Amino acid sequence: MQSPKRFGLIDSQKKYWTTFQQKIKRMNKKSDKDITYKVLFLGRHAEGYHNLGLAYYGEEEWDRKWGRLTGNSTITWGPDAKLTPNGIEQAKGVNAVWMNEMQNGGGIPLPTALFVSPLRRALFTFNMSFTGVVDCPSPLIIENLRDAYGLRTSDWRHNKTWIHEHFPRFEFEEGFTENDELWKKEEREPTEHVQERVKGVLDQIFTLSDTYLALVAHDKVISATFNLTGHPDYNLPTGGSGVLPSKRDSNSSNRSRGHSIGDKSHSHKNIVQRLEAVTNN
């Protein structure tokens, strides 16, 4: 199973989720008006066919040749890679953990704001992970939660019409384009740029009144989230999930203004507030 018991929460008490919720509520009540505590349930998409191809060929050969193609004589990984049968089982495993935690520890707090990458592997993972767990509100599809774009066909997303036809309950962020305008055949987005756009997403979702948020995305997005929230980086496996308590200070000197989720200009400048781990507070 990719997701640990209690989603990694370290607490041996019988009512561990009750204690956890009380702690978050107490910290928010006692904090200054500019300080808010949030809890992110982070999920990485389950295994896709591109993961198999990358593991088989290696990253250098993948970027030189194979990742630029849509597949080989055995499997297809692009455009917009599908989940493998193992990936489908991983996503079902996440759902099983949610179902179990809803019945134990006093009941896991359910997220009230949901966000997901527009790539097919993340959308299907989200759907299967939260079936019977959270039916409302609808998850919001955010362009800037996608994997690094360009070069690799597995990261070339379907158009908006296709996504809506397959996930009619999901909503799109304002300004979501019909076609993938970011993917470039000969250019791969650098990791530093991924982190810059993830800053913009975190800056926006942390201004919401919701305390418990869920996000299903990709390795680079999750790694950037760990980095921006002051947590040690952790290599979350495909289909892995975890709980990430974080602190937001809206009085940061680099406070952002006027940006919307998924801003296509990607010109965010230090727009994420200082986020710090509160796990041990």
CATH number assigned to the domain comprising residue 42:
3.40.50.1240
Spatial contact of 182 and 148, defined as CB atoms under 8 Å apart: no
Has residue 150 been placed in a domain? yes
The tens digit of pLDDT for each residue in 144-176 reads 999 999 999 999 999 999 999 999 999 999 999
Has residue 61 been placed in a domain? no
pLDDT of 274 higher than 60: no
Q: Which pairs count as long-range contacts for 74-78, CB under 8 Å and 24+ apart, including other chains? A: 75/49, 76/49, 77/48, 77/49, 77/50, 77/52, 77/53, 77/153, 77/154, 78/50, 78/152, 78/153, 78/154, 78/156
Has residue 144 been placed in a domain? yes
Has residue 223 been placed in a domain? yes
Has residue 176 been placed in a domain? yes
Confidence of residue 1 (pLDDT cuts 50, 70, 90): low
The tens digit of pLDDT for each residue in 174-193 reads 999 999 999 999 999 999 99
For the chain, how many structural domains are there in total?
Answer: 1
The tens digit of pLDDT for each residue in 243-260 reads 999 988 877 634 332 223
DSSP E strand stretches across 145-280: 171-172, 212-217, 241-249, 275-277
Domain that holds residue 256: 37-48+80-277
Has residue 30 been placed in a domain? no
pLDDT of 54 higher than 80: yes
Write down the residue that tokens 């500019």 correspond to.
34
Of 46, 77, 44, which is closest to residue 62 (Cα–Cα)?
A: 77
Distance CA(219)–CA(151), nearest Å, equals 17
Has residue 140 been placed in a domain? yes
Has residue 72 been placed in a domain? no
Model pLDDT, residue 133:
95
CA angle 177, 81, 74 (to 5 degrees): 150
